[in-house]
Copies of this chain bind each other. A is one copy, B any other.
Amino acid sequence: MTPQPFPVSEIVASRRPHRKDAARNFDALLAAARAAFAEHGAEASLEDIARRAGVGIGTLYRNFPTRRDLFESVYADEVNELCQVAEEVAGLEPWEALTAWLDRFTGYTVTKRAVREALDGDAEIFQACRKSMEAAGGPLFERAQQAGQARRDMSFDDLLRMIAGIAATAFDDEDQRRRVLSIALDGVRASR
């Protein structure tokens, strides 16, 4: 196990029960919720999620007393994975590292579209996710800027939102998604 330097990992970990069976159920619920939110959007049925996870509805409610609690956990879980990825690509060249990370980003956010929709701004956990993302991806962006490959008149937050928007869009196929992403990134490149 590698150490987790990001605030979000704490958040999910602290919710996870200690007992073996409970932890298993917790994980199953998180996975089921992730799938359900991706498929049916933010209003997915909680009973359905419990059923998919193979647990009773009561178990869902004990782990996540409100729908929002469940959202927050799914969201934090994804952000956490994304932070790990940022470390994986750290060895690449500045621009390649940034684009590789953003490429993975678009993959994860397919689910996040629905999740974020419900998490409109005012969640405390949202701040932690922000911070983690900044901590993970910010350096990649700054490195690309210092290498003269990314423009300086935009913030990391600008970049993130642009990519998030594109990631949430439905494309005809994987090719189109890549093409559009690379066009948008051409706009991020420092003008030659």
| Interfacial residues, chain A to chain B (CB-CB below 8 A) | 41-43, 117, 120, 151, 154, 157-158, 161-162, 164-172, 176, 179-180, 183-188, 191
Contact = CB atoms under 8 A, between A and B. Distances in A.
Contact of A161 (B42, B117, B157, B169): B169
Contacts of A185: 187
A96 B166 CA distance: 23
Contacts of A41: 41-43, 117
A97 to B, nearest CB: 19
B169 A164 contact: yes
A90 to B, nearest CB: 25
A171 B170 CA distance: 20
Contacts of A162: 166, 169, 180, 183-184
Contacts of A180: 154, 158, 161-162, 165
Contacts of A43: 41, 43
A176 B43 CA distance: 29
A95 to B, nearest CB: 14
Contacts of A161: 169-171, 176, 180
